[in-house]
Structure 1
Amino acid sequence: MSSRNWRSRRAPFALALGGVALFLTACSGSSGSPSTGSAAGKDLPKTLVFSPLSLAPPALKGLSEGVKHYAGDKKWEVIVQDPNFDASKQTQQLNEVLSSGRAGAAWVIAVAPKSMGPILKTAQSKGIPILVNGRPDEYGFSGPQPGITFDYIDYAAGGKALGEQLGKCVTEKLGGTGKVLFAASTEGSAGKKEFDTAALDALKAAAPGATVVQTVIAKDRTQSQTDIGAALQGKPDLAAVMAANDEGALGALGAFAAAKKNLTCVTDFGGNDEVLASVKDGKIYASVALQFQADMAQSFDTLVKMQGDPKANGEVLIVPQKVVTAGS
């Protein structure tokens, strides 16, 4: 599973949330009766409701444990819900807990952002700060809203960094020229159009002599390896791969190894543990790694801050990204 699309129901859960694994532990949060904190004229419990897409994917199960651990260290209780990819179930679960008086804040990885309107209005009416994945426009807003924080991945920035890094590799190791395969994300994936455009434009700018001669869709690692292997048969002189997710990068390594061919340049967007180990070993030139540990901390800390004034406009957060190379 790729670490890039965990905030979108539309993406295949190829997201093993690579970066998340760096900090997730099996620790649980604090238990017992929630304590309270002062907030804009009333007390809100120090209880966070965490509603991910589902707890079935190991990555999201691990993320829920990480949230409980981080919040528990700060003396917060965490209520974890499991809508199991069902938008109606998610809104029902959230409505029940928001109406119960138990919730002091909510963090929602929405199954369907368009279904969240009533939940957002309920949270606002009750003065309960809420954080949702995605940009304001995905929820029908033009900017920050009272009591609501938005948190999203900047796909244009990620694509630009991915293309720039492959261009650097082509310049350094291939003399500025070479045939490139683009392992793209599936249609409907979050931010696909802006990501792909930014990546291809950045590669062209960084290495004008590089040519993208084939594109495959990287759904999962096995399929990616099969499709890239097939591409190699028709284009045996492929020398570089630009992968929009971890599955594409790891599948490319497998395909080239199986064909006993050298893969000089490969760059990745996502940055799971295996990818980062391959970067360290020099098999992958660079990974544009999403920093989910930092995002978890900024998300929770923002909700804590919002309890002080739940009626004030929330923030628009961006998931941090970091270019990781063998030397970094």
Structure 2
Amino acid sequence: MCLGALKLYCCHLALGEELKQQKMELARLPCPRSLLVFGLVLAVSLGFCAEFVAGVCEPIELPFCEGLAYNHTVMPNVLGHVDQKTAEQDVNGFSALVLLECSPELKPFLCAVYVPECVSGRPKPVCRATCESARLGCERFMNKRGSFWPSELDCTNFSYGDCEYGLTASEIQKKLFDMGHAVGDQVLSLHTARILMSLKDDEKTGKLNTNKFQELQSYVSTVKTEFLAYGRANDGVVSEDQMKNALRARDLRLNELNFGLLWDRYSNAGQIGYDDFVAILARLDALKTRFRTHRMTNLPCDCMMASFSLDDFIRDTLL
């Protein structure tokens, strides 16, 4: 359609040129002149030409976005707000949600949208992973109050490119608690959160992106359901036989010596609570995955063996 024409006009505007050869250029474009002019006005009003035209960095004036890692923005933003005062009217509607602390990423995400960081006169792209994390933590609170995640903030509108993002173990612990992954007064410890993170931290960065956290959240939900099934008759704890059954159900078959060592380490008065139950399964699942990664093939025996470097062995056993 007229996309090429709009980009051509934007490039001319960015260079400050007089459009002297307008007629010649328009003649080559399969786009009516009236539609082109209308489209140009619309594109400029919506910030379409921001890709080509560098703006002027200006100090952030929104109280809502004070205390960010950056203090200068550039307009228009991705929603088409042409000045900060207009953007402020919309972003202030999220103040109550921010006070709920439903997600540590909500405020940074909203500010990245409404008053984006100014980088060489252009707005820094909004990270899709930050959007997804903010939505994951807060959408259920919004739904309980009869509201919905705004369509203009749909995370598919943003890209994973240039994302500087990741959840640490302590942030994972908090998010799992906020999402209801506790059993009565039994909550997951930071130590268990670190084990859980290692289960999904394929890149060994010490952080999880939103997709990996969603996988982890699903894993914890399944383990919690298993614990409740075993512990319901025992006042929220698991017996030795129930722990063995839980391991067998996951094809985590330990010999008596290894199970005894595991049980002695984690059990208290002959039983195991929720936090330790999750830690045991996550630790063994992670070790099983590591073993398979290093597994040797074409062996002259009907056996399973793996080859580890010393660093790999130390890291895996420290889980």
Q: Using structure 2 for the length normalisation, give the TM-score.
A: 0.24
Larger strand proportion, structure 1 or 2? 1
Larger helix proportion, structure 1 or 2? 2
Q: Using structure 1 for the length normalisation, give the TM-score.
A: 0.23
Q: For the pair shown, which has the larger CA radius of gyration, 1 or 2?
A: 2
